[in-house]
Structure 1
């Protein structure tokens, strides 16, 4: 009886350790998450994880940006065949809590997630969270892009209002200075 309980406890421990969730966080600038600034405040980024051990995983990529705008991106995985050691299944992909659309091709060998025009807030910690299940040596890669919104900064609004005030004052002054002459 004692041996049976010991064997059951060992089996339970092995199952729990095999199926325990893995979690990793990658800030922008880490080897797994790079971003390159472009013209007019745009950014292009690449993120990935490789060699993901068997079991459930959650990877979180974090970043902040200098201006409000919109982000878009894709994440893909591939395997040699369904169930192979390099097979990986996405459970969800979230960008700032918004779920990406998941698709599958090749009977589940290729998976992708994509989303377009997700609001990104300046100076705030933004996240891309990838969750899934790896069969032993999973990998995925993704691309992200950012474009600032067209809403002017408060200083720009102030300059524009001052400009309108000056135009109004100039046109009012011109109307007053014109004298009416009768022939």
Structure 2
């Protein structure tokens, strides 16, 4: 039995969801971002409601609507790509999502845009910029290394998208971090 869970976007989220299933004595065969595959073929209505309530108490939503499920799968795939994938993307985003979700990209894009008031491409850019902010805040990588890690063609391309999304340059973002740290207040 496959379940789709909204807001399950990081490793800590996966651990929280696994804990819920463990407490309910359910047996997940596989837990990945946004998705849980149970060994059980079906659940009683009572057990299903108990699981749903437990997930909601942690800020997760069990998706029962097909469109919401597809959107959650798209978001989980993009978060995984932007935040957790180290190697360069070998195909374009549409090819990656089409292969990953086993669906036609045009229909995925139509569903996503219609429900989210955002495009898949822009959501991907937003995720990459959030990852860039995270990496900049660590101060361990140069902007060039960050651009390479996030599959940008150049530092200029990353900087332009960063400024368009945040209103400031990556350098200004880094300076603001230094000015606003708690040990300097």
Structure 1 or 2: larger strand share? 1
Is TM (by shorter chain) over 0.5?
Answer: no
- Structure having the higher Rg: 1
Structure 1 or 2: larger helix share? 2
Q: TM-score, normalised by structure 1?
A: 0.22
